[in-house]
Amino acid sequence: MTRPARRKESRSLRLYARLLELYPPAFLQRHRAEMLQNFADLEDASASKTALWLLIGKDLTMSLIPHFFGSRLGNYVIGVVFTWMLLFIIGYFFYGPTPGRPVLHVFPGVLLGMLSLYVATRLHGTPQGSLYVIGVLVAAILVFTIGYFRYGAPGQPILQVFGGFLIGMLSMSIAIRVYGML
Amino acid sequence: MTKSEPTLPLTPAVFHILLALFGRERHGYDIMQQVKADSGDTVKMGPGTLYGSLDRMIEAGLVAKGNAQDPRRIYYRLTALGQTTLRAETERLSRVARVARRQLGSA
């Protein structure tokens, strides 16, 4: 693979190389070397790191969305969100607009858990071998346990969020196994 | 899938890439710089957007890989369909601009 023609790779370039792993492998196989070269050129021409990373942040977000939602895994995530919306609407008509309903607290946790595992798997390889995932899981279980003993009530919103986080990670882990990455 | 007829309207990114490639082959960074210059700094394209668009444009038959020999860069060029599409879109935008000027002038 061609590497950018620079004497020394900057920290920004190394970080960008890491972030590129979020793209599908087939896309990277075609464009990785050139994207790194372009980043190096942009970095050389950029007056400030902030301006450079604002451009790259926007570019990553805008270009990753079509890749993600065009995949089977993306369709799975849309399915989860749609199902939750359906459950929420049904619940709303049966129980009324009660803001303290557990489903409202659990679901953001589910989404964060799914996103967290997806990013971790993209950046660190398989979820099984990732220290990051194990660390997050242990931390989530620890916070959940501490919260449970401190508040002693499973109905605490924060516990529901963390519960949702674990469910989200598990759900995404299963989805990645079934559908594969992008 | 390659088509033989231009599909309009184009997205701003596709239009600017076609415009940047008109008349000469360019590599990715050169395209980004040309797009920035052509748009008066209003369209700033990053590598992810550029190569995502180029993939779709190659698939649509608007752009092809060029012949320039450079081991570190891949060059891109317009195809005949790309040129036809660029001309058709420019004509369409001109018509829209004429209508807009007329309506603004009469307001």
B1 inside domain: no
Q: Mark yes or no for CB contact A37/B29 under 8 Å.
A: yes
B66 inside domain: yes
B52 inside domain: yes
Q: Which of B32, B44, B52 sits opposite A38 (nearest CB)?
A: B32
Q: Which of residues 46-65 of A touch B (CB under 8 A)?
A: 55-56, 58-60, 62-64
The Cα A24–Cα A68 span in angstroms is 9
For chains A and B, CB pairs below 8 A equal 58
B5 inside domain: no
Q: Which residue has the tokens 């989860």?
A: A80
* Cβ–Cβ contact A41 with B under 8 A: yes
Q: Is residue A134 over pLDDT 80?
A: no
Per CB-CB distance under 8 Å, the chain B contacts of A62 are: 46, 48-49
The Cα A121–Cα A177 span in angstroms is 11
Q: Mark yes or no for CB contact B48/A66 under 8 Å.
A: no
SS (H, E, C) B27-82: EHHHHHHHHHHHCCCCCCCCHHHHHHHHHHHHHCCCEEECCCCCCCCCEEEECHHH
CB count in 10 Å sphere of residue A103: 15
Q: What are the φ and ψ backbone dihedral angles of A154, each rounded to 5 degrees?
A: -70, -10
CA distance B17 to chain A (A): 16
Distances B99 to B12, B91, B93, B104, B106 between C-alpha atoms, Å: 20, 13, 10, 9, 11
| Residue (of A2, A112, A17, A83) closest to A56 by Cα position | A17
For the beta sheet containing B75-78, the strands, ordered from the edge strand earlier in sequence to the opposite edge, are B26-27, B75-78, B63-65
The Cα A55–Cα A42 span in angstroms is 10
B89 inside domain: yes
- Chain segment A11-69, per-residue pLDDT in tens: 999 999 989 988 888 899 999 999 999 999 999 998 899 999 999 999 999 998 888 77
User: What residue numbers bound the domain in which B33 lies?
Assistant: 12-106
B66, B77 Cβ separation under 8 angstroms:
yes
The domain that holds B38 is classified in CATH as 1.10.10.10
Interface test with B, best of A53, A59, A69, A182 (most B CBs within 10 A): A59
Q: Quick one: tokens of A60?
A: 């990553």
- Chain segment B87-105, per-residue pLDDT in tens: 999 999 999 999 999 999 8
Q: Which of A38, A55, A66 sits opposite B28 (nearest CB)?
A: A38
Whole-number pLDDT of residue A1: 44
CA B88 vs. chain centroid, Å, equals: 12
Interface test with B, best of A19, A23, A38, A67 (most B CBs within 10 A): A38
| Residue (of A76, A64, A41) closest to A119 by Cα position | A64
- Chain segment B23-67, per-residue pLDDT in tens: 999 999 999 999 999 999 899 899 999 999 999 999 999 999 998
Q: Is residue A147 over pLDDT 90?
A: no
| Total count of domains within chain B | 1
Does ipTM top 0.95? Answer: no
Residue A62 C-beta-side C-alpha neighbours within 13 Å: 17
* Mean pLDDT of the A84-93 span: 74
Q: Which of A30, A59, A66 sits opposite B47 (nearest CB)?
A: A59
Contacts of B15 (CB under 8 A, 6+ apart): B86, B89
C-alpha dihedral, B47 to B50 to B55 to B58, nearest 10°: -140
CA A66 vs. chain centroid, Å, equals: 15
- Chain segment A152-178, per-residue pLDDT in tens: 665 667 777 777 888 888 888 777 777
